[in-house]
Chain A
Amino acid sequence: MKHTIRAEIFKFYWDIRRYLFNYTVGLIAEIIFIGGLYWSVSRFEKSKEIIFGGLVLWLFARGALSDASTIIGEERYYGTFERVSVTKSSLFSILISRLIVNFLFESIKVMILAGILYIIFRPPVRFSFVPDKILFIWIITILVIMCLYSWGFIIASLQLIWKRTGAIIPIIEYIFLVFSGVIVDVSTIPRLLVPVSNLIPITWEIKILQKLFEGQSIIIPTIHLIIYTIIILQIGYLIFNIAVKHTKKTGGYGFY
């Protein structure tokens, strides 16, 4: 795996070198969008730290959901998908390594963005500097990010079979934004849509954070999140293997 990660860091470095301008412009666009969204929503909501944390998480979610699909789509577009599959690194390890590298880059991007938003809007996020809470928040965030990447992996796996699956990612992104409790309070979501909301990993973190700030017990939702993470990881891996086998049987493995 370390060799594959080295390969992906190397490739990513050259990618950044070539497309630095595009990445910078993308970051500015996101600052404008997220800044505007935070500014408008935080005027009506009480819990500004939840909105701020939720938006930062949503930024991660966007990358997590689309990364695996983008990688597969890009490899198929260039026609290199089959070529990289015949190397010492397995397709799975290549995908995971590229996702790790993308995640590290995304983290730097999100930190820059969150930093800029913090300087501009000064949201009340002092809680994160409390040592006993910060570790817990990080663990929960890592679990949620793993869930998000698993969702992305499921979408990418389906994209292997149905090539247009990647096109639905923006819809899922906005469902995540609307129903996760970032812009609409979880408690105000209509009853019928609560199950949808519960499928979204960000919702779990929002719920846990809310309970944490209100001084309530967080054991049950944390156990739920752990179970959810394990299940979604398993499903992601299973669907990926099924999709690879299916396309290798039907002949659609490398087709764009």
Chain B
Amino acid sequence: MLLSIQKINKAFKQKNKEIQANRDISFTVSEGEILGILGPNGAGKTTLIKQITNLLIPDSGKIFFKGGDVVKYPHILRGGCSLLLEGLRNIYPYLTGETNLLYFAYLNHITPALAKERSIKLLKQMGLYEVKNKYSFEYSSGMNRKLAVATCLINEPELVILDEPTSGLDVVAVEDLISFIKELAKDKNKTFILVSHNMRFIEKVVERVIWMRNGLIWMDKKVEEIKNTLKNKEILISVRDSPDVKTFLSKNNLPFTYIGSSIIRVVLNITIHKEFLSELLSSFEVLNIEKQDSDFEFIFKELYNETYNKS
């Protein structure tokens, strides 16, 4: 086992208010695994990865990397883990593409010859070789993102954590990144933790998903398992809006959204919501029923709506 997270909790104080960002988070990650962490904004994903990389210290709980306590012995993590943060805060704008890579290689104690060899390889793989001598402030946001991903891979760490790696990338670049990550995990046994809102990317690349909500792990499952669980079991019902229907849905904690001003859309699972389904059909004006083809994007939206409606 490469990484073990044991009951970590983290809270932040903001204007006399305490925000619990992570609650009793526990999971493990094996070598060569590709794990996706999903969840709406403010779910506690970034807080979690910052604790894994020792940029934040948990209030309680333990984080073990290769069996060593990351908080007590931070050096265990050094060189074995790379982190790509959200946004344009991973590279130096006044350095060229190549010098950014070489600088990070040297910080990771790589010899100049090897650093040069790896940087050329990565620049070619990321499609940046032709622009390697340009300053990174001259790059587009997508090119900057690719370069930032490359800086995380230059030292070939055992664990690579990428927060929103696809932001600013075009479709072809995303496909390339997917193949690249899969290849590294398979051939070199590298482990990836990917945090992203790009559902298609996550669905294609990860093997396991941790779904976070309100600082908690809401779900920790294999991708295939999620797909099979929801396959052909969800239906989308459009109902005429009325105070009674809203009371009914709210009372039973059923997530709903508005389509236009007078139609409510509700998704029900025919196994879990069997009794509600019959009551809905008999008591309210149902306008349409259709089978819901559940993909990651849909599941995420529904979960987000549920959270939103509850709050």
Asked whether A86 lies within 8 Å of B82 as measured between CB atoms, the reply is: yes
A6-B93 in contact given A248-B55, A251-B12 (Cβ < 8 Å): no
> Is the beta-carbon distance between B103 and A88 smaller than 8 angstroms?
no
A11: Cβ under 8 A from any B Cβ: yes
Please, what's the 1-or-0 string for A225-256, where 1 marks a CB less than 8 Å from any CB in chain B? Answer: 00000000000000000000100111101100
Q: With A7-B103, A79-B89 given, is the CB distance from A88 to B57 under 8 Å?
A: no
Q: Of the 9-residue stretches B73-81, B235-243, B251-259, B274-282, which lies at the interface with chain A?
A: B73-81
Given A18-B94, A82-B83: A7 in contact with B12 (beta carbons within 8 A): no
Chain B residues lying within 8 Å of A253, measured Cβ to Cβ, are 55-56
Cβ-defined contact, B107 with A4, below 8 A: yes
Contact A7 B89 (CB under 8 A): no
User: A126: CB under 8 A from chain B?
Assistant: no
Q: Which residues of A contact B95 (CB under 8 A)?
A: 11, 14
Chain A, range 1-51, C-beta contacts under 8 Å to B: 3-4, 6-7, 10-11, 14-15, 18-19
Known: A15-B94, A79-B90, A86-B83. A3 touches B106 (CB 8 A): yes
Contact of B85 with A88 in the complex, beta carbons under 8 Å: no
The 8 A CB mask of B74-118 against A (1 = contact, 0 = none) is 110111011101011111111110010011101111101000000
**Which residues of B sit under 8 angstroms from A83, Cβ to Cβ?**
83, 85, 89-91, 151
CB pair A250–B12 under 8 Å, yes or no, is yes
Give CA–CA (A33, B271) in the complex, Å: 82
List residues of chain B with CB within 8 A of the CB of A89.
78, 107-109
B interface residue count range (under 10 / 10 to 19 / 20 to 34 / 35 or more):
35 or more
What residues on B are CB-neighbors of A87 within 8 Å? 78-79, 82, 104, 107-108, 155
For the complex, is B54 an interface residue (Cβ under 8 Å from A)?
yes
Q: Does B53 contact A (CB under 8 A)?
A: yes
Q: How far is the CA of A251 from the CA of B96 in the complex (A)?
A: 31
* Contact partners of B103 in chain A: CB under 8 A: 7, 10-11
Residues of A within 8 A of B94 (CB): 14-15, 18-19
Collect the chain B residues with CB atoms within 8 Å of residue A250's CB: 12-13
Counting CB contacts under 8 A, is A84 at the interface? yes
Could you say which of A4, A10, A254 contacts B55, with CB atoms under 8 Å apart? A254
The chain B residue with its CB closest to the CB of A248 is: B57
The answer to whether the Cβ of A90 comes within 8 Å of any Cβ in the partner chain is: yes
User: How far does the alpha carbon of A7 sit from the alpha carbon of B107 in the complex, in Å?
Assistant: 6
Given contacts A83-B89, A86-B82, A251-B12, contact A7 B106 (CB under 8 A): yes
A90:B75 contact, CB within 8 angstroms: yes
Contacts of B99 in A (CB 8 A): 10-11, 14
Residues of B within 8 A of A3 (CB): 106-107, 109-110
A251 touches B90 (CB 8 A): no
B54 touching A82, Cβ below 8 Å:
no
Q: Residue A88 contacts which of B53, B78, B93, B96 (CB distance < 8 angstroms)?
A: B78
Shortest A217–chain B CB gap in Å is 47
Chain A's interface size range is 20 to 34
Decide yes or no: A80 and B89 within 8 Å by CB, A10-B99, A86-B77 being known contacts: yes
Residue pair A86, B89 in contact (C-beta under 8 Å): no
Q: A10-B103, A87-B107, A88-B109 are in contact. Are A78 and B93 (CB under 8 A)?
A: yes
Interface residues of A in 37-89 (CB under 8 A from B): 78-80, 82-89
Per the bound structure, the CA–CA distance linking A228 and B174 in Å amounts to 57
Establish whether residues A86 and B109, one from each chain, have CB atoms under 8 Å apart when the complex forms: no
Interface centre among A10, A19, A84, A251 (most CB of B within 10 A): A251
Interface residue A94 (Cβ < 8 Å from any Cβ of B): yes
Contact, CB under 8 Å: A79 / B87: yes
Chain A, residue nearest B94 (CB): A18
Contact of B55 with A86 in the complex, beta carbons under 8 Å? yes
A160 to nearest B CB, angstroms? 13
Please provide the chain B residues from 210 to 255 with a CB less than 8 Å away from any CB of chain A in the complex: none
CB distance from A138 to the nearest CB of B (A): 31
Residues of chain A contacted by B82 (CB below 8 angstroms): 86-87
The docked-state distance in angstroms from the alpha carbon of A240 to that of B91 is 25
Chain A, residue nearest B52 (CB): A86
A246 nearest CB across to chain B (Å): 10
A87 vs B104: C-alpha distance when bound (angstroms)? 8
Provide the residues of chain B in CB contact with A6, threshold 8 Å. Answer: 106, 112
CB distance from A202 to the nearest CB of B (A): 33
Please encode chain B, from 180 to 191, with 1 for each CB lying within 8 Å of some chain A CB and 0 for all others. 000000000000
Knowing A83-B83, A83-B85, A87-B107, the reply to whether A10 touches B102 (Cβ < 8 A) is yes
- Inter-chain contact A94/B107, CB cutoff 8 Å: yes
17 A–B contact pairs at CB < 8 A? A3-B107, A3-B109, A3-B110, A10-B106, A11-B92, A79-B88, A79-B89, A80-B92, A82-B83, A83-B85, A83-B90, A83-B151, A85-B54, A86-B54, A87-B107, A88-B108, A89-B108
Q: What residues of chain A have their CB less than 8 Å away from a CB belonging to chain B?
A: 3-4, 6-7, 10-11, 14-15, 18-19, 78-80, 82-90, 94, 245, 248-251, 253-254
Q: A83-B85, A84-B107 are in contact. List 5 more A-B contacts (CB 8 A).
A: A3-B109, A11-B92, A80-B89, A80-B92, A90-B74
